Structure 1
Amino acid sequence: MTQIVVLPHVELCPDGAVIEAAPGTTICDALLANGVEIEHACEKSCACTTCHVIVREGFNSLEAAEELEEDLLDKAWGLEPNSRLSCQAAVAGTPLVVEIPKYTINMVSEGKR
């Protein structure tokens, strides 16, 4: 099992969390399985940016992002060099530290009341 440290997020994980994930599990699936309700509007099909995370430690242990993911990340709020879509980034054997950005862009829900 690989350790994932989730940095505090005001709404989704106020105290932060330390979770375990089997190698090959996506960061998104690991978060969801451990009660961190990260948004995933496209149901993890790599069609939006709502599951965007910033990998603060362990980034180089992840497989490189494919072109579609890179294109979508260009539209993510708060993009950083170590940004990934959590639905596409599979955990390897190296521990990770991830940050969920404060905001997300959800084209489906934006402007809805």
Structure 2
Amino acid sequence: MPIIKIMPHPEYCPQGVEISAKAGTSICEAMLENNIKIEHACEMSCACSTCHVVIREGFKSLGEIEDGEEDLLDMAWGLEPNSRLSCQALLSQTDVTVEIPRYTVNHAKELH
């Protein structure tokens, strides 16, 4: 199973963490299953940009970005060339390193 290394984030995982998940699982699903409460206002339907992450290692292993995701990424705070929506980034057999940006475009937190 691939390892997801999540860099420290002051709210979601202050110390950083490493988790594992099956290939084919989205990064968002893997984080939520491991009690990392990343924002996902649209319930992972690729309709917002609140689950935006920056892939620091393993970006190319996640496959091509589809047009809908690319359009939504344009609205994400702190967009970088290696940005993905974690609900759309499916794991392969390759380990990845993920940074959760400090802010999202959400004005209010959802309670999931």
> Which TM bucket (shorter chain)?
over 0.9
Q: Which residue of 1 aligns with 2:46?
A: 46
Alignment of 1:1-20 (within 5 A): 1-20=1-20
Deviation at 1:106, TM superposition (A): 1.5
Aligned length, in residue pairs: 109
Deviation at 1:8, TM superposition (A): 0.2
Q: Which residue of 2 aligns with 1:72?
A: 72
Q: Distance in 2 between matches of 1:34 and 1:6?
A: 11
Q: Distance in 2 between matches of 1:63 and 1:106?
A: 27
Q: Which residue of 2 aligns with 1:33?
A: 33
**TM-score (normalised: structure 2):** 0.95
Identity of aligned residues (%): 61
Deviation at 1:87, TM superposition (A): 0.3
| Counterpart code for 2:21 | A
Cα displacement string for residues 49-68 of structure 1 (whole angstroms, at most 9, x for unaligned residues)? 00000000000101111000
Which stretches in structure 1 are left out of the alignment for 5+ residues? Answer: none
**TM-score (normalised: structure 1):** 0.94
Q: Distance in 1 between matches of 2:38 and 2:66?
A: 21
| Counterpart code for 1:95 | D
Q: Distance in 1 between matches of 2:106 and 2:11?
A: 16
Q: Is the 8 A contact 1:48 1:106 kept in 2?
A: no
Flag as ranges the 4+ runs of structure 1 deviating above 3 A.
none
Which stretches in structure 2 are left out of the alignment for 5+ residues? Answer: none
| Counterpart code for 2:74 | D
Q: Which residue of 1 aligns with 2:104?
A: 104
Cα displacement string for residues 72-93 of structure 1 (whole angstroms, at most 9, x for unaligned residues)? 0001000000000000000001
Question: RMSD over aligned Cα, in angstroms?
Answer: 1.1
